[in-house]
Each structure stands twice: as structure tokens, then as C-alpha cells.
Amino acid sequence: MQLLIVAVGHKMPTWIEQGFDEYAKRMPPELRIVLKEIRPEQRSSSRTAATVMQLEAARIEAALPKQCRIIALDERGKDWSTMQLADALTGWQREGGDVALLIGGADGLDPALKQRADMLLRVSSLTLPHGMVRVLLAEQLYRAWSITRNHPYHRV
């Protein structure tokens, strides 16, 4: 099973790339975190944010496997504790299939894409920059995995 992070945004600063890699590389081979970067659409005065999000959504859809669970990261989503994430991870592994975690660009994720997601998840009440969300998500997935394995990384 793979955890796909499908994230709008590329050419991230080195500190984002390093932060992400730091946690992604700690995952075991049977539960890899795979990053798929989506090139952001050009912003211009003749394009509305809705148009840009629709075009980015088409790119995100094209990057998704045929069958996968979709979790859309959104600040208006459900609040999960790390323990809840760890429980969910156990369930996802039991049920099998890939899980895609979607991170939007500067304007967010297209409403239709959020509608078709299995759930919306928020990681804070604050609006975070998309680069930071991928780092935070990688750390939380690693922490959640460490909980399922009683690994000492997570202290209660």
C-alpha cells in the first residue's frame, strides 16, 4: 500500500524538500509515502480562481490511481487527533488499496474534487502554506505509523 501525497506546487524551497524527505524516508517499504507534484496553473487577470482550481483538479485527477481512497486536505475539514490518524492508518492497511492525500495550491482545491473525496481533513485551524502542509503531513503519517508499531518516536 502506498500513501500518495498529490500536491499542487513544484520548485519548492530546499528546506521544504528536506523536511519532507526527512520523514518520507523513515517510512517502511510496505507503507511508502510517494509525492506527486502537480504543476500549478498560471495565474492571470483573465483567469478566475475557479478556473485555475478546475484546471489543477484535472491534473490532480490524472495523477490518481484508478482505485484509491481520497483524503482532501482542507482547513474546513474534519479535525483528527494523531491517535485517530493512527487508527485510520491501521484500517487502511487492513482494507488495502492506496490512499491519496490531496493538497491544493494558492487558491485551494476545486469544490467538485472536494465533493468527491472520501473525507476532508484539516491539520490546523490556521491557513498554512501548501509547502508546509506536505511536510507536516509526512511527519504526522510517520508519527501515526510509529504509534501502530509502538516505536519510541511517539511519546504519550
User: Least distance (Å) from ligand SAM to the CB of residue 145?
Assistant: 20
- Kindly state the cell numbers that stand for 143: 508519527
Residue nearer to ligand SAM on the CB measure, 126 or 156: 126
Q: Least distance to ligand SAM from the beta carbon of 5, Å?
A: 11
Q: How far is the CB of 67 from ligand SAM (least distance, A)?
A: 22
Strands 32-38, 119-122: pairing is unpaired
Nearest to 4 by CA among 37, 38, 33: 33
Nearer to ligand SAM, 27 or 74 (CB): 74
Nearer to ligand SAM, 83 or 151 (CB): 83
Which residues would be at the binding site for ligand SAM (CB under 6 A)? 73-75, 103-104, 106-109, 122-124, 126-130, 133
Shortest distance (Å) from residue 129 CB to ligand SAM: 6
Q: Output 110 or 147, the one with its CB closest to ligand SAM.
A: 110
